[in-house]
Structure 1
Amino acid sequence: MGNKAKNKILLAKVETTYGTDPTPDGNNNAILISNVTISPMEGETKDRDLVNGRLGNELVLHVGTHVKLEFDVEVAGSGEAETITASEKVEYAPISEGEKSVTLYFYLDGALHKVIGARGSMDIKIKPNEIPRFHFVFTGLWVDPAAVTNPTGVFTAFQAPLPVSNSNTTFTIGGASATLYEFECKQENAVRYLHRVGRESVEITDRAPKASVTIDAPPLGAKNWFTDALAITQARCNSSMARLPGILSNWISRRRNP
């Protein structure tokens, strides 16, 4: 194990019951990812602080062991047959209760790391001459790794992305077109691992989304962003990509700092 670093595959499936493995498979649940990292034994160690008449360390105890997995997914169309009316969009509204959970199977060169009851947060970054990507960070419950054979993943539903460019991408902020250098949005879910007697889970306890944007400064006579910032004017950021129906990202910022 560990000789072939690219011999990795990720499967993911939404759980019907929290913490119950729905058994994802390579034919239906493979996720095309990049830049993946796993922290297979997150948690704490507790010193025993023994008094035994000699100097030196003692064995520590592991507590609250859980798993963290993060990875990128390219921003591209779903590949599904869709009919989208011009100027319409698809919106995904955040929720404050009843968050779903997912089971992740991460295969790493013959070792299977299962991550059950996983919840997390997501970022998106758009930058010219780069591939647009979603970045996911999941925290989930610990399962003993197992020696297995990697499955074959089916990725036919994943489409090749288009790079961010003048011909492929549009961007507006506050209804005004802008020359974009970089746009980043962070969902900033507060993801908390809980381990109590009678309960072990990963919960989303809060969120505080934030966004940053770098654009060319227009003439003040055309648009005065300083006035909007001082007035704490809400601004909607819209970005769309060729081959992607509707709006790629649609975020509201309650305050802008020029």
Structure 2
Amino acid sequence: MADRYTRRSAILARPEAVYGTAEVAFVATDGILLAAPPSFVIEPDNVPRNLVTPWMGNSEELPATRRAKLNFKVELVGSGVAGTPPAWGKLLRGCGFAETIVAANRVEYAFINSGFEGLTFRFFRDGVRYLTRGARGTVKLDLSAYAIPTADFEFWGFDVQALSSALPAIDLTAFQTPQVVTTENSGDILLGPTLTAGAIAGGTSLASKGIMWDMGGKLAHRKLLGGEKIAITDRAVSGQMTVDLLDTEEITWRTDINAVSLTSLGFNHGNAAGKRIGVFAPRVQRTNPQAVDDDGAIMISTDLRALPGVTGAPELTIIAR
């Protein structure tokens, strides 16, 4: 009996022209370059018969619907060409972001509140191909200091199908080599900056251990006859950062937090055109400041809550330029 190996896995993804209608014209460039082993789990919703008989024992369960949960990481880096969507941009579109392309300059991904796109995934695992449609998801961004920046995706899709299939040919050349988050490649977290024409600038620079953001998308599998879907029902964007503060700065920091003083936050990464990434949140509440030990030095860990604008402007924007 031949062994099957988990490393012989591949993921292909395509945005759906019509939500819930599976895409069929997959090509090699639909492949996703994975930064860690993926997880693919099928959850069935079976219905028990619960038959009444004069003897003990089970009744069978009948299959109803099922969903796939797909988790994977990709490296966070631009496309290599300013104004060209990065290879992972289509994944953000499936997480409740709209894509705006400014030719030869940048691509922006900002939250929307309706009209969410869906993705069709093909997941290959050594001899078996799974297809799931109507997939939507959520994502976490990890821009920790002295590490490769990553986006950690979780997608739900329905109507999971399996068939025998060899691993496909995949072309991963659209995924660029990332840059490690360092002072030379990134710089500091900016407190109170502005976002203008894709550029995050101004404000106060904070020495830090980097920043992490969790989009906090709430997913639901809505089982409707003639309208089955994965719904994004809400989101709660949160984050975390650990910063280096003087004693006087810590006192001001805590005073502002106690007064629920909101601020903007920005972070730039990358020093080469086409590979730069920016993350900007215009209204952020800082909470739960805690002193932590960092090789004997005191730093302040702070939780973050990104808030939408007072008229509903997106609470977070990701820029590739």
TM-score, L = length of structure 1: 0.88
Residue equivalent to 1:207: 235
Match of 1:72 in 2: 73
Q: 2:123 aligns with which of 106, 124, 135?
A: 106
Gaps of 5+ in 1: none
Distance 1:53 1:12 in 2: 51
Q: Distance in 2 between matches of 1:3 and 1:43?
A: 24
Q: How far 1:236 moved relative to its partner?
A: 2.1
For 1:126, the equivalent position in structure 2 comes to: 143
Asked if the contact 1:124–1:135 (Cα under 8 Å) also holds between the matched residues in 2, the reply is yes
| CA distance in structure 2 between the aligned counterparts of 1:82 and 1:61, rounded to whole angstroms | 50
CA RMSD of aligned residues (A): 2.4
Q: Which amino acid aligns with 1:37?
A: S
Give 2:246's aligned residue. 218
Structure 2 unaligned runs (5+)? 85-104, 193-202, 290-321
**Aligned partner of residue 248 in structure 1, secondary structure:** strand
* 8 A contact 1:18–1:101 mirrored in 2: yes
SS of structure 1 residue aligned to 2:257: helix
Report the residue type matching 2:286 in the other structure. Answer: R
Distance in 2 between residues matched to 1:141 and 1:128, nearest whole Å: 37
Equivalences for residues 26-175 of structure 1 within 5 A: 26-35=27-36, 36-39=38-41, 41-82=42-83, 91-170=108-187, 171-174=189-192, 175=203
What whole-Å deviation, never above 9, does each CA across 1:196-223 have from its counterpart, x for those lacking one? 2232111111111111111123332587
| 8 Å Cα contact 1:89-1:245 kept in structure 2 | no
For residues 211-249 of structure 1, give each alpha carbon's deviation from its aligned partner in whole angstroms, at most 9, with x where no partner exists. 111112333258711122122222222211223665521
Deviations 1:103-142 (A, max 9, x none): 1111111211111111111110111221110011111112
Q: Tell me the distance in 2 between the aligned counterparts of 1:230 and 1:108.
A: 51
Shift of 1:161: 0.9
Does the CA contact (< 8 Å) of 1:211 and 1:253 recur in 2? no
SS in 2 for 1:226: helix
SS of 1:199 mapped into structure 2: coil
**Partner letter of residue 254 of structure 1?**
V
- Partner in structure 2 of residue 227 of structure 1: 255
Contact 1:238 1:247 in 2 (8 A): no
Q: Distance in 2 between matches of 1:212 and 1:43?
A: 35
Secondary structure of 2:286's counterpart equals: coil
Paired with 2:128 and 2:115, the residues of 1 have a C-alpha distance of: 32
CA contact (8 A) 2:66 2:160 kept: no
In the superposition, relative to structure 1, how do residues 223 and 173 fare at CA in structure 2: closer, same or farther (>3 Å)? farther
Measured against aligned partners, the alpha-carbon deviations of 1:41-93 in whole angstroms (never above 9, x if no partner) come to 2143443333212223332334431111111110112122559xxxx975422
Query: What is the number of residues matched between the two proteins?
Result: 254
- Candidates 275, 284, 294, aligned match of 1:254: 284
1:11–1:29: 8 Å Cα contact kept in structure 2? yes
Percentage of pairs with the same residue: 28
